[in-house]
Structures are given as C-alpha cells and as structure tokens.
Structure 1
Amino acid sequence: MTIWKRAMVAAGLIGMSVTLAACSSPVANGGKKSDTLNVVFLPSDSAKEEDAARKALTSEIHKATGKKVNVVTTTDYNVAIQSLASGKAQIGLMGPDGYIQARKQSKDVQPLVTYSGPSGTLKDAYYHSYIMVPKSQATKYKVNGKYSLKNIKGKRMSFVSNTSTSGFSIPAGAIKKAFNLKSTDDLAQSGKFFSKVLYGQSHQGSAVNLLKGDADVAAFDDMDLTQYGKFQNNSDKAGAIFKINNNAPAPFTSVRGKSSVAIAAYKVQDEPLAVNKSKASQSDINKIVKQLTSKSVTNNKLFFAPANAKTRGLFTKVGNTKFVAITDKWYKPTHNILGE
C-alpha cells in the first residue's frame, strides 16, 4: 500500500548512507537541551531515490521545533534500532518490529505518528508481508490446487533482516506455526530448515535476490516495492502477482519486467515515526506531531506521492492517506504476535 524499507546492501540502494558511529552531530550522546535533532532511517528508507522525501521530513521537524535536524541513513537495521534506543538519534522511522525492539531496550522510545489507510483513519492502516516465489515456479508450491508453505523446506530463502517485521518476524512466525517448530532460530540459518538463507538488508534487496535467481523463496512487503512495480491482481491474499516495471530504477534494473507470486500474504500494522522522549522535550514532541498531522504535510507529495509520481515520496498516496497520532497501545497486536 505504501513505501517504506549489515554491512552489505544491494547496489544502488544506499545513496548518502552513513553510520551513527561516524556521526559528528553535537547530540551524539543525546540531550533535551540540544539545538540539534538526529533522525535515523532504516536501510529500506535510505535509498538515494528517497533523498528528497527524507529532507522534506527533516524540514518539517525543523519548522516545528526551530532546531537543526540531521538526516542519518544506515545500512544495518540493528544500528538504526540501537541508535534510537540509546538516544544517539532522537527520532527514527521504524518498522513495527524495529520500534518494538527499540522500545524493549528503552521504555523512553514511543511512537509519534503512523500513516493512515485510504480511509484517513487507523482502521485500514496496515500493509502486507509476503512469502513470494518466481512466477515461473509458482505451481510447484500448490497443494490440492491451493498455494501452500509445505514445499518451501530445503529451499534457498531470502529474508530482509532478522529485525524486520514484515521481512522476517511475520513470515518466520507463520512458517514456525505451519511446521510446528519450537522457535524461528533454525529459519535464520543456512543448512537448518532452509538449504541456504540470504538477507537482502532491505525489502528491495530481498526481492532482487528472488528475481535474480539467488533465492527460491523470499519475504518482503508491498510498501517498499510499489514504486518499482505493480500488482496484477488482488494483493490481499496468496496468488497475488507482483511485476517489476519495465523502467524500474536500481536495484531492479537487471530484473525489469520479471514477476513473482505470493504463496502467502499477511497483514502488518503501519510503521511509526518514533521518538526517544528522554532526548527530546515534550514541547518539541507535541510540536512535531501537530506539524506532521497538518494539512500542508498531508498535501505534500514528498510525503504522500501518487503511485506514478516521478519523484519518490516517503509514502504512497492512497485515498486519504495522512499521518495520524498514536501511542504504544496501537501496536498491542504486534506486541502480542512477537511476544515482546
């Protein structure tokens, strides 16, 4: 529905990536009285194509608080999560699992806003996690005429990162349940449940692993892929077909026009923009939420871009998509699924 999501990354995905260890910001150790705020982005949101969108977000935070705002991109999910939990970054655009892991490390981490569904509310504020296979191989994953996970054991599997909600936690949890496994530990290692396990380090990277033929099966979400391709049918369930655009930019230039089929699809709550409240004042937090939920941001195409926009937005505009203020209670279902 929208677009969002270690040391190695698929070519073309990084853009202006840096690590927080190298960040020379005066808030390296955090602090409420600092005149600077660091905003960290996950690898999937660190692509060069999202440069304008990242700058738009930090610009709005600057307008709201009057403070200097630094963009910090990453090539590692764990670096981004730990930076928010520690306060080296005061604000972060996190996946649901990334947010929950950061909050597990520090209760000072809390969500500020998420993006709504097409209704403009939270009732349809979710996206999808898929377990995909190449279209040419899809019939091999049918049992009694229906798509099934039964035949994925022993295959080459690509996940996003072991800290990605829709790129690992949700699909791994589904596989664990389907095969009655004790844990997901064996799913994360080559030579255990799968013959080989790859990590794309982003949803785009995981999709490329599949479409290039390096993996037989892959997990990734729709929100990070919709500006690179289109669903050819119902994207809500198994059987969904996703085709890469013929003019898709890097990292999909070598797999343009190729298609994958979902053998399983799962709903995932939309991700939050989160804050470490021990490193940002409540006044600044309130101002940021007010600014991001304003009409000017809602109508800004760098935040919510049409699906066919030439300039990539932070999210895709579907219906009345906009930012909505939330608290940790919104993620209770995800807390329950992950047991955190």
Structure 2
Amino acid sequence: MELNLDRRQFIVGGSVIAAGAVMAGMTGCSSSNGSGSSAASSAATEEVAAPEKLVFAWEPGASEGKYENMRDLMAESISEGAGVPCETMTTTDYNVCIESVNSGKAHYASLGAKEYVELHKKNPKVEVAWVLSDGEGELNPVSYHSQVLVLEDNSEQYKQADGSYKLTKEQLEGQNYSWVELSSTSGFVIPSISMAKEFGIENPDDLGESGKFFDTVYFGGSHANAMLNVLIGDAGFCSVDDTGLAAYYNVIEGENGELGALYEVKAGLEAPFDEYEGTKLRVVTTYPVPAVPFVVNTEFVPADMNEAVIEYMGSEAVYNNPELFKDPSDKDTVTKYKQTTGKVRFIPAPDSYYDDFRKMIGEE
C-alpha cells in the first residue's frame, strides 16, 4: 500500500522558492544500506515502543510511478528486517518528505545530503541509517556527481585545446540556467557553491535568482524537468545528477557523470521527453557529491529494530536481487541501483561522514 502526500495535505515549516516555466514534484536521489549503524546506538538510552508498522517516505524524484516496483521491494526488505509491515509514502514536495520523517509520520526516509544535514541539526533524533556503497562495497567520500549539461550542438564553444570542457564566468553570466530546486544537493547546493567560489560571487544564492548573475533562472522541481528546460530551449544549461537522471539517457561517449561524456535521450520515454528522443547532451562541468542518506527517526524506531533493518538491508538477499540492484545491461528494469561489481550494497554510515559537506555548506 502506498500513501501519497503533497503540500496541500501536509503543512510544513518553510517552502522552496521556485521560478521557471516547468514545475513538477520530483527530485532525484540515491540510497544505501549495511549492518549496524551510529543511528542504532544513539537511541539506546531511551525506551522506544516498537511500532506495529513502519512508514518509509520517498522524496519526489523516487515517487514517480515508474519506480513503484523499486519502492515495493524496498518496503518488503525493510519489513523483513523489522518483522512488521512497512508502508510506502510517496510525496510531490521535498518539504513534505522532510517534515514527514521529522514529525514521525514516517519512520524512515530517502533524503538528499543537504536535507539530512539541516534536519539532523534541527532534530538530532533523525540520523543516517544507511547509504549506497561504492563498487567495492565500501563507504566512499564520492558517491555520485552533479553535472552541468548543454545541448551537444552548443558544446563546441566550451571545449578546451586539450579536448576537455570548461565553463567560464563570462560564458555563464547573463545566460538562462535551469536548476532542480534550492534544496537539491546535486541540483543546486553543490554546483552553486562551487561556481560562486570559482567565479568570486559572494553569495551562492544569487545564482538561484533571475537577474542577479543569470538572466532567467528556472527550477524544474526534478532532475528530469531541469534537463527538459534545456531540451526545449528555455535554458542553455542545467545542473542535474548522474544517477536517477541516467534513466533518461544513454551514454554514447565517455563514462556517466564524467567531464566530456556525451548522452543521447532514450527512446520510449513518456511525454514530453518522447519528443526529444535522440537529442544529444554534453557534460561540460562535473562536481563530486557524497552518498545520499537513508535516514531513520530514532525517536520512533527502537534501536534493536533499527539494527535489524540495517543488517537486512545490507544482506545478500537485497543486493543480489536483480529487480532492486539491476545489471547495468538490463534496459527494462526500473530502479535507482545498479549491481556493477557484485559488491555494491547498502552500508551503514556515521553522521561524521557528512562533516566535510557540512563545512562546504556552512552547517558545522
């Protein structure tokens, strides 16, 4: 069973400022798992009643209909570990997902790194449960990438003498830019901070307002819609991830997420993306991003139950399930996770994993 909440059904504190032609309730994110975690130990000092069922809240990007089987499999796995049913909650607004786990309406949630860091500061009971490992099954400081895409037809001007690609302040200033949303780690936070440092811009938030640095700023509300703004010609550039968005393109040159990679919009996508089948996009800038956290509210989940969930989520039964961790050559299964080495899995992560990221965004 799935619940579906949007902003009108769930009042939250704070709102995402968005400007642009396309606004949809989606934002990409990844996930992970393991056996034992800092989240489990911190709740040990208090008696927490075991819930009769768990609720897992998904951020908008993973709430799309095409991910239903993935969500169901994740809920089944959590239920197997916890020993109680797990219900899925889909959302159309990132703030709803955040406030759901903050309030205990949801016990677990998939959040971005920025959302987790800010929420944990506000509510220390919300902690990391698991993240997605690297190809060796280990915790890696770089989990995926934020990439800047342009239409291939426009990319030659950003090509350097050595064959690499680079964007300059002069090339970007006064242009139209497409972000995901202000709270998106890879779709705004990391690229805006990085650009501001490189270009000598005092306030990274200026990059999110039309008329400050860029002429017109668009917020797609999802990684796919941020890219759509480039495809339809409203924006010349977009900042998007290389994980969830990879379901929309084939890599025809280079490696996914790497500088200079060339993508082609896939066939068989739903409208309006079907109109752009075969359109090519080039990666002209890329930034590393830490693993996306799956979080738990330890005020509502007993430590022993959380430990059991984390242990099961890191088990072979989960990472060897081809419907959840699919083979990269599988073009039909829709999931956010790929089994590239036989070792990729969900693993526990301490809160300190995000300390460098905290420093980067000024949330120490």
Q: Which whole-Å CA distance do the structure 2 matches of 1:56 and 1:90 have between them?
A: 17
CA contact (8 A) 2:130 2:294 kept: yes
Q: Aligned pair 1:228/2:248, yes or no?
A: yes
Q: Deviations over 1:139-168 (max 9, x none)?
A: 233466742232111111111111010000
Q: Deviations over 1:47-98 (max 9, x none)?
A: 1110000011111111222323221111212221222222222110112122
RMSD: 2.2
CA contact (8 A) 2:129 2:295 kept: yes
| Structure-2 residue corresponding to 1:10 | none
SS at structure 1 position matched to 2:229:
helix
Counterpart of 1:318 (choices 330, 340, 343) is 340
| Structure-2 residue corresponding to 1:276 | 297
Per the TM alignment, residue 219 of structure 1 is displaced from its structure 2 partner at its CA by: 0.5
| Structure-2 residue corresponding to 1:264 | 285
Q: Aligned pair 1:337/2:324, yes or no?
A: no
Indicate how the Cα distance of structure 1 residues 16 and 255 shifts in structure 2: closer, same or farther if over 3 A, else same. Answer: farther
TM-score w.r.t. structure 2 length? 0.82
CA contact (8 A) 1:39 1:90 kept: yes
Indicate how the Cα distance of structure 1 residues 37 and 334 shifts in structure 2: closer, same or farther if over 3 A, else same. Answer: same
Q: For residues 1-340 of structure 1, what are the structure 2 equivalents within 5 Å? A: 17-19=4-6, 22=9, 32-123=49-140, 126-142=143-159, 146-150=165-169, 151-231=171-251, 232-235=253-256, 237-250=258-271, 252-307=273-328, 308-319=330-341, 320-340=343-363
CA contact (8 A) 1:116 1:124 kept: no
Q: Which whole-Å CA distance do the structure 1 matches of 2:89 and 2:185 have between them?
A: 21
Number of matched pairs: 319
Q: Structure 2: any 5+ residue segments left out of the alignment? A: 11-47
Q: Which whole-Å CA distance do the structure 2 matches of 1:131 and 1:339 have between them?
A: 23
TM-score w.r.t. structure 1 length? 0.87
Per the TM alignment, residue 19 of structure 1 is displaced from its structure 2 partner at its CA by: 2.7
Q: Which amino acid aligns with 1:324?
A: I
| Structure-1 residue corresponding to 2:28 | none
Q: Which whole-Å CA distance do the structure 2 matches of 1:74 and 1:234 have between them?
A: 31
CA contact (8 A) 2:262 2:281 kept: yes
Q: Which whole-Å CA distance do the structure 1 matches of 2:355 and 2:181 have between them?
A: 22
Q: Which whole-Å CA distance do the structure 2 matches of 1:63 and 1:195 have between them?
A: 51
Q: Which amino acid aligns with 1:297?
A: V
SS at structure 2 position matched to 1:226:
helix
Q: Deviations over 1:251-309 (max 9, x none)?
A: 52122111211221011112111111112111111111011011100111232112334
Q: Which whole-Å CA distance do the structure 2 matches of 1:335 and 1:251 have between them?
A: 37
Q: Which amino acid aligns with 1:245?
A: K
Indicate how the Cα distance of structure 1 residues 52 and 250 shifts in structure 2: closer, same or farther if over 3 A, else same. Answer: farther
Q: Which amino acid aligns with 2:221?
A: Q
CA contact (8 A) 1:20 1:83 kept: no
SS at structure 2 position matched to 1:62:
helix
Indicate how the Cα distance of structure 1 residues 121 and 249 shifts in structure 2: closer, same or farther if over 3 A, else same. Answer: farther
Q: Which amino acid aligns with 2:178?
A: S
SS at structure 1 position matched to 2:340:
coil
Q: Structure 1: any 5+ residue segments left out of the alignment? A: 1-14, 24-30
Q: Deviations over 1:176-196 (max 9, x none)?
A: 112211111211111221111
Q: Deviations over 1:229-267 (max 9, x none)?
A: 222213454322222123334552122111211221011
* Percentage of pairs with the same residue: 28
CA contact (8 A) 1:228 1:249 kept: no
CA contact (8 A) 1:302 1:314 kept: no
CA contact (8 A) 1:115 1:125 kept: no
Q: Which has the higher contact order (CA 8 A, sep 6+)?
A: 2
CA contact (8 A) 1:109 1:276 kept: yes
Indicate how the Cα distance of structure 1 residues 248 and 325 shifts in structure 2: closer, same or farther if over 3 A, else same. Answer: same
CA contact (8 A) 2:264 2:280 kept: yes
CA contact (8 A) 1:306 1:317 kept: yes
| Structure-2 residue corresponding to 1:4 | none
